Chains A and B, each alone.
Chain A
């Protein structure tokens, strides 16, 4: 699946997007964040406060307990500050 990062999540990880293949036991957004956090210091820093992180699956907001099965694109970002 494709993963995208925005704003300070992108800066901390050091890339805007990548393709990942999480193991089968990673089923939810929460679990994916925990798995990504283990991929390096930048990831750990970006996801140090998982409750702050907002997630979208295929361009729609989802909750941390949402299932990731079938997702084409998952995005992680800080609370939004547009408008």
Chain B
């Protein structure tokens, strides 16, 4: 069976339970659902922040996420896959990103979700700007995110 990923780039919030239900409701082949939700923290480093604003590259964001979704589907026996990434102004406590994977057994769902998040962090064209008492500044990419993505490269 061909698995088609659902990929959405949107300003609006998402409902995690509803997204899980869309992949699992009425099915008896799904034995595992893994969901990862990335949430806006109220601090960056030790500084309190008022909000994050996410800029993205429309068109490429969808294309790049689809490339990684296709790779995940090729590498793991997934039964379903949903990725939602928000853009715009996001306050602490609000959702930023969601990855849901379903499979017959847990290992594929866990690994594929982690692979996708590691690649979203380093390859999906999104940029976070933080708002704090000191003004606005762009958040810098972290080396450990690159290292996390690199460990999935087949040698």
Task: Name A5-27 residues within 8 Å CB distance of B.
Answer: 6-8
Given A56-B60, A59-B64, A83-B38, A78 contacting B127 (CB threshold 8 A): yes
User: In the assembled complex, how far is the CB of residue A46 from the closest CB belonging to chain B, in whole angstroms?
Assistant: 13
Of the listed stretches B10-18, B20-28, B74-82, B135-143, chain A binds: B135-143
A80 vs B138: C-alpha distance when bound (angstroms): 10
Closest chain A residue, CB of each to CB of B86: A82
What total count of A-B pairs have CB within 8 Å?
72
Closest chain B residue, CB of each to CB of A52: B141
Counting contact residues on chain B (CB < 8 A from A), the size range is: 20 to 34
User: In the assembled complex, how far is the CB of residue A74 from the closest CB belonging to chain B, in whole angstroms?
Assistant: 11
Which of B120, B127, B138 has the largest number of chain A CB atoms within 10 A?
B127
What are 14 A-B residue pairs whose CB atoms fall within 8 Å in the complex? A6-B57, A56-B60, A59-B63, A61-B123, A78-B138, A80-B122, A80-B125, A80-B126, A82-B56, A82-B120, A82-B125, A82-B128, A83-B97, A83-B120
Beyond the given A56-B125, A81-B126, could you list 10 further A-B residue pairs with CB under 8 A, ordered by the A residue number? A56-B57, A60-B63, A79-B140, A81-B127, A81-B138, A81-B139, A82-B56, A82-B126, A83-B85, A83-B126
